Amino acid sequence: MKIQPADALIIVDVQNDFCPGGALPVRDGDLVVEPINRVATLFRHMVTTQDWHPPNHSSFKEHGGIWPVHCVAGTPGAELHSRLNQRPVNVRIRKADTANRDAYSGFDHTDLAEQLRSRRVARVFVCGLATDFCIRATALDALTQGFDTFILTDAVRGVDAQPSDSEKSLQDLKRAGASLITTSDLESGAAT
């Protein structure tokens, strides 16, 4: 599949706290970095999303949520993985940045849709963490917003509280209209 000028790569939450050694690690979460880096330079438009929580965020167990404290704004855990190639990034989205509102999707209470439309993006390629939460929510919202949506299945990893959660999420996305492909399906087109 040739990458075109109106395509965007959306890298979801490849943050230190979601990688091994972090506060809320996704198993093998850091293994998404290499396939993402391999295709990043194919895209003219590249987006990163980050959880950017205040210390008293409602998703934290100590404030009634279900998650341990993670991705607190301005901390090393909230930063993107050090090996992730960020040179091509031209849109940075920080989400769930108010205490009383959680957001799994990169579109939730952000200007991501407007930023993509202003760049005339038609297709989005979603990768990162975690398949069964933020990838799923971001991709569903991309479809709702009218973007042709592709999931790079070799560049995602899930929480898998139940062993099949990630696979079920991918199948749900496929039924909703997303295409499941791998980074090896991509090739340079007019974007480079």
Judge whether 121 lies within some domain. yes
Residue 1 lies in a domain: no
Q: Considering the domain boundaries, does residue 191 fall inside one?
A: no
Query: Does residue 35 sit within a domain?
Result: yes
Specify if 190 maps to a domain. Answer: no
pLDDT number for residue 189? 66
DSSP string, 96-132: S-BTTB---STTTTSSHHHHHHHTT--EEEEEEE-II
Active site residue 61: no
Centroid of chain to Cα 160: 16
Annotated active-site residue in 7, 17, 51, 95? 95
Find the domain containing 155 and state its range: 7-185
| Rounded-to-integer distance, Cα 181 and Cα 192, Å | 20
Residue 95 appears among annotated catalytic residues: yes
C-alpha–C-alpha distance, residues 189 and 145, integer Å? 25
pLDDT at 188: 74
In a domain, 113, yes or no: yes
In a domain, 72, yes or no: yes
pLDDT for 190 beyond 60 = no
Confidence at residue 65, expressed as pLDDT on a 0 to 100 scale? 95
The DSSP line for the chain is -B--TTEEEEEE--BGGGSTTSSSPPTTGGGGHHHHHHHHTT-SEEEEEEE-B-TT-TTBGGGT-SB-S--BTTSGGGSBPTTS--TT--EEEEES-BTTB---STTTTSSHHHHHHHTT--EEEEEEE-IIIIIHHHHHHHHHTT-EEEEEEEEEE---SSTTHHHHHHHHHHHHTPEEE-GGG-B--TT-
pLDDT at 34 > cutoff 50: yes
How many C-beta atoms surround the C-beta of residue 95 within 10 A? 27
Distance between CA atoms of residues 56 and 134, nearest Å: 20
Which CATH number does the domain housing residue 167 bear?
3.40.50.850
How many folded domains does the chain comprise? 1
Which position among 13, 17, 30, 154 bears the catalytic label? 13
Which pLDDT value is given to residue 87?
87
Q: Which of 19, 71, 127, 134 is catalytic?
A: 134
**Per-residue pLDDT tens over the stretch 87-138:** 889 999 999 999 999 999 999 999 999 999 999 999 999 999 999 999 999 9
Looking at residues 34-50, what average pLDDT do you find?
97
For the cut 80, the answer to whether the pLDDT of residue 165 exceeds it is yes
Asked if pLDDT for residue 192 goes beyond 70, the answer is no
13 is catalytic: yes
Q: Does residue 192 sit within a domain?
A: no
